[in-house]
């Protein structure tokens, strides 16, 4: 079936209202839950075939997070959907004022490869609970997972309600030429701009979940061992191919050596210098990205690690001594390389970070509330953690999204529901009273009555 036909089939299904009722939404969420839990192993195997992600990592970051999100939506959807009564100013008296939460219609979700199940299905949960029909395009760079998702969705859902469309840039371009009611894109800033330009043709609202260089700031009062453990935990999950992985460390110069020592201890404890793709470590997604990372290593001042294997696309966790001008500091790394940059004066932190595009995440390691607040108030970033990395995105009460070049809009929990809903304000007035003074012709008396009644 052509893409145009899929879109019109979905629009017809949306118009006949089959996805709107709470019963329909809950039943689709339950169906999705069943798909994921029944085929948890198949999905994890597919991801492993694509880039060797260990089963436990896939289970925690792709399966568990989705099941948890579905349960959260099932528990809260009634309250989120409910029309909300609000007050009104005296000028509208007497009236009732209501905000309806309308589904947007037929929406497009475009996924990225690095968490190929999570990043496709997490926004899908919000799109379903908001009552939309959905076309979902997983990333072509995780092809086994993409095929598996298509096969499972064809078994579990009618195509006029949810359709998986597979393909690369050409298919995405064709999809983007259609008129959708919302486009939810996860991927690079470069492609995010293409998506937004295409969406502007139909004035389609967009959510852009993009990337960037997320800093981990280690202050002089930080617990260095804990900082190293948590930064390397965030950097080695998925071999650093995580949008919110700490990209680089900005550390007080007096703590640099201690941090390097704590880092080598953390890595030895995590992996015992014995890396096994598919068991305790993940491969780089493809040879292009492998070569890109190899080149960054070759241009860097490596102080630990640097090993690699082209056949298995293995890149060792690597510590790099860096300056702001180095190649490794120019773009998002998206791999297990950790540049360390030092600061002397805390004023440098905000002045340097404000020269970079706003990152998706920011992490700070300090016991000082003052230092935390200073960074939060002076450096724009999507979201982040104090004394941890990555875990902010596991809380559905926190909005997850970027700032500036790392994206726009947010999702997770109610933020997902709101992203895929349209708020519709309706003022409901009784037919009586209907005073003449409201209608033309106006005169000085009308104005003086208006001023006396309404102007404070
Ligand atoms: P990408 O931008 O290359 O691809 C994302 C999607 O865009 C894919 O489905 C792809 O088919 C499509 N695409 C690629 N080129 C296109 C083109 N020219 N025209 C139209 N569509 C095109 O990103 P990626 O390599 O899959 O993912 C890595 C990036 O995504 C990183 O920057 C990472 O930080 C970011 N990311 C962000 C989040 C988040 O939640 N904010 C999550 C994961 C990844």
> What tens digit of pLDDT does each residue of 130-179 get?
999 999 999 999 999 999 999 999 999 999 999 999 999 999 999 999 99
The conformation of residue 408, written as its DSSP 8-state character, comes to E
- The residue assigned the tokens 């999950």 is 237
Nearest CA to ligand 1 atom 9: 139
Verify that 131 and 23 share a domain, yes or no.
yes
Question: How many angstroms separate the alpha carbon of residue 78 from the centre of ligand 1?
Answer: 33
**Which atom from ligand 1 is nearest to the alpha carbon of 191?**
2
Verify that 220 and 205 share a domain, yes or no.
no
- Domain contains 433: no
293 pocket-lining for ligand 1 (C-beta < 6 Å): no
Verify that 69 and 189 share a domain, yes or no.
yes
Q: What residues are labeled active site?
A: 209, 243
**Which atom from ligand 1 is nearest to the alpha carbon of 360?**
41
- Domain contains 440: no
Asked whether 32 and 122 are in contact (CB, 8 A), the reply is: no
Q: Out of 110, 112, 244, give the residue to mutate to test ligand 1, the one with the largest number of ligand atoms within 8 Å of its CB.
A: 112
Is the pLDDT score of 63 beyond 90?
Answer: yes
Verify that 129 and 239 share a domain, yes or no.
no
Q: What angle do CA 269, 270, 271 make, to 5 degrees?
A: 100
211 pocket-lining for ligand 1 (C-beta < 6 Å): yes
| pLDDT confidence band for 32 (50 / 70 / 90) | very high
Model confidence pLDDT, tens digit, residues 406-433: 999 999 999 999 999 999 999 999 999 9
- Domain contains 198: yes
Verify that 128 and 253 share a domain, yes or no.
no
Q: Tell me the average pLDDT across 430-455.
A: 92
- Domain contains 20: yes
- Domain contains 455: no
Is the pLDDT score of 338 beyond 90?
Answer: yes
Q: Tell me the average pLDDT across 53-77.
A: 97
Verify that 182 and 323 share a domain, yes or no.
no
| pLDDT confidence band for 92 (50 / 70 / 90) | very high
Share of the chain above pLDDT 90, in %: 98
- Domain contains 434: no
- Domain contains 387: yes
| pLDDT confidence band for 274 (50 / 70 / 90) | very high
pLDDT of amino acid 41: 98
Verify that 258 and 174 share a domain, yes or no.
no
Q: Out of 191, 212, 214, 288, give the residue to mutate to test ligand 1, the one with the largest number of ligand atoms within 8 Å of its CB.
A: 191
Nearest CA to ligand 1 atom 18: 169
What's the mean pLDDT when you consider all of the chain? 97
177 pocket-lining for ligand 1 (C-beta < 6 Å): no
Question: How many angstroms separate the alpha carbon of residue 176 from the centre of ligand 1?
Answer: 14
Instruction: Please give the tally of structural domains in the chain.
Output: 2
**Which atom from ligand 1 is nearest to the alpha carbon of 243?**
34
Please report which helix (H) or strand (E) contains residue 206, including its range.
strand 206-209
Q: Which two tokens stand for residue 221?
A: 């009062």
Q: Which two tokens stand for residue 71?
A: 């349960």
Residues 6+ apart with CB under 8 A from 358: 212, 380, 381, 382, 402, 403, 404, 405, 406
Verify that 127 and 157 share a domain, yes or no.
yes
Is the pLDDT score of 456 beyond 90?
Answer: no
Asked whether 162 and 133 are in contact (CB, 8 A), the reply is: yes
330 pocket-lining for ligand 1 (C-beta < 6 Å): no
Which residue range is the domain that position 389 belongs to? 215-398
Model confidence pLDDT, tens digit, residues 185-226: 999 999 999 999 999 999 999 999 999 999 999 999 999 999
Verify that 147 and 280 share a domain, yes or no.
no
Report the distance separating Cα 185 and Cα 202, nearest Å: 16
Verify that 68 and 201 share a domain, yes or no.
yes
194 pocket-lining for ligand 1 (C-beta < 6 Å): yes
The conformation of residue 58, written as its DSSP 8-state character, comes to H
Verify that 394 and 413 share a domain, yes or no.
no
Residues 6+ apart with CB under 8 A from 279: 54
36: three-class secondary structure by DSSP? helix
DSSP conformation letters of 219-286: -TTS-HHHHHHHHHHHHHGGGG--TTS--EEEEEGGGHHHHHHHHHHHHHHHHTT---BTTTB---SS
Verify that 197 and 286 share a domain, yes or no.
no
Asked whether 192 and 210 are in contact (CB, 8 A), the reply is: yes
186 pocket-lining for ligand 1 (C-beta < 6 Å): yes
Residue 331: give its domain's CATH number: 3.40.309.10
């Amino acid at each position: 079936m052509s893409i145009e036909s899929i879109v019109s089939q979905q629009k017809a299904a949306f118009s006949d209202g089959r996805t709107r009722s709470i019963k329909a939404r809950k039943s689709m969420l339950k169906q999705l839950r069943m798909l994921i839990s029944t085929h948890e192993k198949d999905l994890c195997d597919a991801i492993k075939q694509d880039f060797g992600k260990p089963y436990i990592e896939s289970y925690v970051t792709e399966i568990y997070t989705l099941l948890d999100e579905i349960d959260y939506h099932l528990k809260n959807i009634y309250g989120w959907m409910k029309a909300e009564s609000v007050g009104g100013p005296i000028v509208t008296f007497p009236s009732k004022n209501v905000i309806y939460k309308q589904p947007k219609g037929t929406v497009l979700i475009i996924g990225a490869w690095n968490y190929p199940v999570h990043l496709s299905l997490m926004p899908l949960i919000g799109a379903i609970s908001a009552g939309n029909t959905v076309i979902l395009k997983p990333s072509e760079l995780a092809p086994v997972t993409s095929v598996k998702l298509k096969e499972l969705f064809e078994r579990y859902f009618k195509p006029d309600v949810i359709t998986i469309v597979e393909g690369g840039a050409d298919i995405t371009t064709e999809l983007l030429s259609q008129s959708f009611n919302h486009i939810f894109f996860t991927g690079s800033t470069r492609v995010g701009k293409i998506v937004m330009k295409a969406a502007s043709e139909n004035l389609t609202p967009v959510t852009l979940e993009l990337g960037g260089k997320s800093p981990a700031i280690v202050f002089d009062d930080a617990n260095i061992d804990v900082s190293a453990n948590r930064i390397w935990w965030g950097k080695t999950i998925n071999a650093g191919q995580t949008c919110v992985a700490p990209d680089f460390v900005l550390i007080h110069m007096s703590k640099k050596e201690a941090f390097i020592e704590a880092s080598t201890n953390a890595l030895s404890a995590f992996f015992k210098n014995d890396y096994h793709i598919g068991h305790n470590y993940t491969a780089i997604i493809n040879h292009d990205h492998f070569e890109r990372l190899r080149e960054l290593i070759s241009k860097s001042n490596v102080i630990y690690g640097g090993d690699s294997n082209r056949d298995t696309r293995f890149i060792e966790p690597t510590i790099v001594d860096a300056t702001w001008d180095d190649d490794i500091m120019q773009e998002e790394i998206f791999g297990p390389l950790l540049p360390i940059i030092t600061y002397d004066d805390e004023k440098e932190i905000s002045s340097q970070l404000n020269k970079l595009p706003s990152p998706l995440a920011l992490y700070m390691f300090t016991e000082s509330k003052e230092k935390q607040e200073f960074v939060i108030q002076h450096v724009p970033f999507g979201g982040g953690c104090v004394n941890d990395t990555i875990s902010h995105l596991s809380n559905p009460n926190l909005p997850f999204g970027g700032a500036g070049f790392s994206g726009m809009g947010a999702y997770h929990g109610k933020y997902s529901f709101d992203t895929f809903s349209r708020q519709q304000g309706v003022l409901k007035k009784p037919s009586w009273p209907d005073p003449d003074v409201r209608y033309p012709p106006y005169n000085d008396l009308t104005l003086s009555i208006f001023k006396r009644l309404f102007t404070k």
